[in-house]
Structure 1
Amino acid sequence: MTRKVRLDDGAWLAYPTKGERAGEGGDAFGVRYFGNTDAAELAALHFANDNDGYRAVYMAPNESISEAEEQRE
């Protein structure tokens, strides 16, 4: 059974931006969910720093990763 996660309150995510193996380079299965707490922010940033090709971003409710990235800039 697959656990479904709703982002009603927004959340910190780390997602793959490049890679050659399955699960890397835009594959949704490579996205990691960390939640929406201060600890989640730190965990997402640590994960992205420790894993080449990943970026961490906060996604607001009903926002895509692309939209969240645009808000960062």
Structure 2
Amino acid sequence: MASLSAADRATLAANPVIHSRRVNVIGGGALIIQVLAEQLAVGGGPGQIAASEHDILDGIALPLAQADQHGHPR
């Protein structure tokens, strides 16, 4: 995470595994994944996170963030 947030745009753009459209958002996305992983570890979550290019952008993250540790709405 630290290397992504410290890297400038040119460095990120030169990385062959980072798509050019992701250069501006990769740091923020990495931070979100880091926080989710930390929260799942504290809450005894499933122990893994899968990231995909094929996603549902709306409707999943907010209900999960608002749920208690058993998945019930707060």
- Report the TM-score, using the length of structure 2 for normalisation: 0.23
In terms of fraction of residues, the more strand-rich structure is 1
- Report the TM-score, using the length of structure 1 for normalisation: 0.23
In terms of fraction of residues, the more helix-rich structure is 2
The structure with the larger Rg is 2
